[in-house]
């Protein structure tokens, strides 16, 4: 009754791998397709990148055997359209600059005509004043000659000469007045022409700028269409690579889920299962929530594998034979769907190595070693249904908290 007994927690589990990428892996098809040819069979070893199965297309939009070549031609045509729009935009920019230069020259030309018109008006105004003075002189001479003719001092021919001169002077004044009026009208027309020229070129410049923006917009649309076609071309090229499904890593083909030639494979569905050839063994076991507070990462575990002869005395592990040692390396933080917590156990390096012939999925019987107690205490604990070493660990935790707590907290 007073012999030492090692408390333990027993549970069932199975062999798995320590790393997720080392576990059996289902290989899926990225695209939907028709199964055309198998390159492997169950049990074959495949290297990374080896072809496993060949699929053919089942979607009508990808049936064209020259799909990539024709899409590439569309991309080239659209790219050339971009170059054409670049040339058009450059030509419209040059046209806009030429119109600006023409506007400046036309405005200067019209302004010069206005200045010339004003100078001619000044000149004609001065000439008109001179003609009017000559008219006054001619009128005075006519009056004096008429008076002298009435007195018989001037002859009729002299009187007629004065009348003729008076008429000629009046005609010159009338001509000059008409000339001055014409020059004023020309000046007004030049001013109107200046405003009309500015409006006309403003309209031309606006139209040229609008054409330039339209060309730029068409260029951007063509660039967007080209980018979309390039994206389609890249997608088509990538899609054709998915017709051959390859092994993501080296391993053994363990199960062919899809079998028949001509069978339709949907995207994302498993086709075969591959077991990696290099893996680190571990044991996965499940514990009830009531035992979870008793274990910690690093606790020692003893394991018995199915099919491996062993004599197990759980309370005296040193007297057991055919069992292997391990350490807890991970404890789930969340309960599993079966209502238990999962723990992961890895081999203990300094102890006896696990059998090399173990396979993933082999069943195990595991018992986690706790404290050494007398047999009478273990019998008493079992009869009362107390958890193993629970209160002792709980008290030790409280002592640690008290030692770390500040003085005020203790008070």
State pLDDT tens for residues 138-187.
889 888 888 888 887 778 888 788 888 888 888 988 998 898 899 889 88
High-pLDDT (> 90) share of the chain, %: 10
What per-residue confidence (pLDDT) applies to 315?
53
Which residues are CB-neighbours of 57 under 8 A, at least 6 positions away? Answer: 33, 34, 63, 243
State pLDDT tens for residues 376-388.
877 777 777 666 6
Domain with CATH 1.10.287.1490 in the chain: 67-239
Query: Alpha-carbon Rg of the chain, whole angstroms?
Result: 56
What per-residue confidence (pLDDT) applies to 45?
92
What per-residue confidence (pLDDT) applies to 321?
58
Q: For 242-366, where are the alpha helices, taking DSSP H only?
A: none
Here the tokens at position 23 are 């576990």
State pLDDT tens for residues 65-89.
888 888 889 889 888 888 888 888 8
What per-residue confidence (pLDDT) applies to 319?
46
The CATH class, in words, for 4-22+279-410 is mainly beta
High-pLDDT (> 70) share of the chain, %: 89
Q: How far apart are CA 83 and CA 77, in angstroms?
A: 10
- Mean of all residue pLDDT scores within the chain: 83
What per-residue confidence (pLDDT) applies to 101?
92
Band the pLDDT of 411: cuts 50, 70, 90.
Answer: very low
Band the pLDDT of 409: cuts 50, 70, 90.
Answer: very low
Least confident of 79-88, 112-121, 215-224, 256-265: 256-265
What per-residue confidence (pLDDT) applies to 289?
84
What per-residue confidence (pLDDT) applies to 388?
66
Mean of the pLDDT values across residues 273-288? Answer: 88
Query: Residue 16 pLDDT > 70, yes or no?
Result: yes
Domain with CATH 2.40.50.100 in the chain: 24-57+243-277
Q: Are strands 324-331 and 341-347 parallel, antiparallel or unpaired?
A: antiparallel
CB 365 within 8 A of CB 12: yes
Pick from 336, 366, 350, 361: nearest CA to 279: 361
Q: How far apart are CA 203 and CA 146, in angstroms?
A: 67
**Fold (CATH) for 67-239:** Helix Hairpins (1.10.287)
Neighbouring-strand partners of residue 285: 13, 343
> Could you name the CATH architecture of 24-57+243-277?
Beta Barrel (2.40)
State pLDDT tens for residues 292-307.
777 888 888 888 888 7
Domain with CATH 2.40.30.170 in the chain: 4-22+279-410
pTM (2 d.p.): 0.56
């Amino acid at each position: 009754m007073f012999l030492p007994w090692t408390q333990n927690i027993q549970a069932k589990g199975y062999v798995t791998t320590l790393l997720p990428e080392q576990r059996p892996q289902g290989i899926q098809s990225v695209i939907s397709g028709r199964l055309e040819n198998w390159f492997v069979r169950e049990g074959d070893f495949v290297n990374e990148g080896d072809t496993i199965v060949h699929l053919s297309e089942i979607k009508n939009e990808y049936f064209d055997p020259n799909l990539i070549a024709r899409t590439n031609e569309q991309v080239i045509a659209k790219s050339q359209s971009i170059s054409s729009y670049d040339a058009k935009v450059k030509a419209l920019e040059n046209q806009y600059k030429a119109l600006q230069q023409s506007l400046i020259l036309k405005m200067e030309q019209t302004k010069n005509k206005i200045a010339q018109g004003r100078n001619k008006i000044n000149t004609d105004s001065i000439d008109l004043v001179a003609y009017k003075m000559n008219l006054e002189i001619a009128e005075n001479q006519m009056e004096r000659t008429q008076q002298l003719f009435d007195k018989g001092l001037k002859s009729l021919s002299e009187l007629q000469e004065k009348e003729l001169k008076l008429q000629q002077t009046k005609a010159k004044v009338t001509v000059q007045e008409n000339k001055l009026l014409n020059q004023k009208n020309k000046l007004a027309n030049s001013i109107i022409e200046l405003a009309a020229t500015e409006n006309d070129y403003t309209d031309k410049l606006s139209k040229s700028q609008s054409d330039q923006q339209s060309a730029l917009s068409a260029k951007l649309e063509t660039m967007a269409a080209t980018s979309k076609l390039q994206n389609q071309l890249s997608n088509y090229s990538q899609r054709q690579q998915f017709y051959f499904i390859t092994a993501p890593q080296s391993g053994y083909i363990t199960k062919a889920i899809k079998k028949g030639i001509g069978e339709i494979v949907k995207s994302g569905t498993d086709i075969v299962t591959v077991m990696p050839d290099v893996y680190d063994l571990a044991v996965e076991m499940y514990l009830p929530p009531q035992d979870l507070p008793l274990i910690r990462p690093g606790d020692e575990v003893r394991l018995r594998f199915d099919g491996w002869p062993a004599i197990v005395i759980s309370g005296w592990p040193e007297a057991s034979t055919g069992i292997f040692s391990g350490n807890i390396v991970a404890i789930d933080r969340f309960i599993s769907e079966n209502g238990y917590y999962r723990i992961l156990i890895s081999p203990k390096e300094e102890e006896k190595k696990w059998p090399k012939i173990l396979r993933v999925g082999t069943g195990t019987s595991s018992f986690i070693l706790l404290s050494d107690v007398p047999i009478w205490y273990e019998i008493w604990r079992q009869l009362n249904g107390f958890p193993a070493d629970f209160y002792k660990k709980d008290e030790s935790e409280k002592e640690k908290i008290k030692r770390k707590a500040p003085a005020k907290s203790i008070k």
